[in-house]
Amino acid sequence: MSSLENLVRIGQLKLEPSSDGEIVTSLRRAALYLVDAALPSLSPPSRFMLAYDAAHALAFAALRANGYRPDAGRDHRAVVFQTLGVTIGASQQLWLTLDRYHTRRNASEYGDMVEASASEAEDLLMATQELQALFRHWLVRNRPAVLV
């Protein structure tokens, strides 16, 4: 049984046929967020959130491209990052970095309101750009019609 099937069994993922349109929409959304996240005129917390939203859109699209959807339960946002090694072959370093920033985002969003620093925003932006390139490469090999 694959790790994704195990996540279905325990209720963190659901099997659901993917849609090229949904994947394309996520790719476009991520691209727009990345353009804005790179604007030095924005505050570091804004750049961080835009880079995070782009990373989440890409990781979500990678999961959807493999025919899975996160369940709406606890950790439904984190699972998209934690499955990147399986869905598109992301390195452990990349998905752990994104997962760490997911935790950081939650602390900022729901916790003590500590704002992201400029270095955190830049690091997340670079990790998200790496994810974007990796996912596009995966799509070329596995779902080229999505890129047309």
Phi and psi angles of residue 109, each rounded to the nearest 5 degrees, phi first: -75, -40
Write the pLDDT tens digit of every residue in 15-37.
999 999 999 999 999 999 999 99
Judge whether 33 and 52 are in contact, CB under 8 Å: no
pLDDT for position 106: 73
Which residues pair with residue 14 across a beta bridge?
A: 69
The architecture of the domain spanning 19-142 is Up-down Bundle (1.20)
Rounded to 5 degrees, what angle do the CA atoms 50, 52, 54 make? 70
pLDDT for position 130: 98
Write the pLDDT tens digit of every residue in 50-93.
999 999 999 999 999 999 999 876 666 789 999 999 999 999 99
Domain ranges of the chain: 19-142
Q: Can you give the pTM of this predicted structure?
A: 0.92
Judge whether 73 and 13 are in contact, CB under 8 Å: no
Helix (H) or strand (E) holding 14: strand 13-15
Distance between CA 112 and CA 131 in Å, rounded?
28
Which pair of structure tokens corresponds to residue 73? Answer: 């339960």
Write the pLDDT tens digit of every residue in 94-147.
999 999 998 888 777 766 666 889 999 999 999 999 999 999 999 999 999 998
pLDDT for position 77: 75
Name the amino acid, one letter, at 86.
V
pLDDT for position 111: 66
Phi and psi angles of residue 88, each rounded to the nearest 5 degrees, phi first: -135, 10
